[in-house]
Amino acid sequence: MKNHRGLVRQRVGVAYDQARARRIAGESIRKEAASKNRPADLINIALEKVVEAGLELPAFSTFDAMASTLRKEVNAEICGGIHKRMSAFERAGLLRLLEERERDGTTLYNRLKKPA
């Protein structure tokens, strides 16, 4: 089995370096997660970069887990940056959207989400 895998790698022209493949995938996912939020898009970009590097692909579950984890981290960084730039008055205004209720029990946030 091991010999067969080696022959397939040689025939296809890829190298087996899972650590490098994960590093390349992680870097590309982190870079693109700032502008793309769908895991499928992030996985496709990571697949493309690993193939360009001539490396054997890790399992799909590896890409899926990386996309999920890194997307959460990047989104948290974006939200944290927005929160830091907001004044105390603006933060209080956001909280009021969830706390103050209309007569029918809905919040101001519900009204804000309604299309024009």
**What is the per-residue DSSP string for 72-110?**
HHHHHHHHHHHHHHS-HHHHHHHHHHHH-B-TTS-BHHH
Q: Find, among 55, 53, 59, the residue nearest to 17 by Cα.
A: 55
User: In the predicted model, what is the mean pLDDT of residues 6-23?
Assistant: 88
DSSP, residue by residue, 47-61: HHHHHHTTBPPPPHH
* pLDDT of the residue at 116: 66
Closest to 16 in 3D by CA, of 66, 65, 53, 61: 53
pLDDT of 100: 76
pLDDT tens column, 31-61? 999 999 899 999 999 999 999 999 989 999 9
Cα–Cα dist 106/91, whole Å: 20
What is the spatial distance between Cα 68 and Cα 101, in angstroms, rounded to a whole number? 34
Percent of the chain topping pLDDT 70: 99
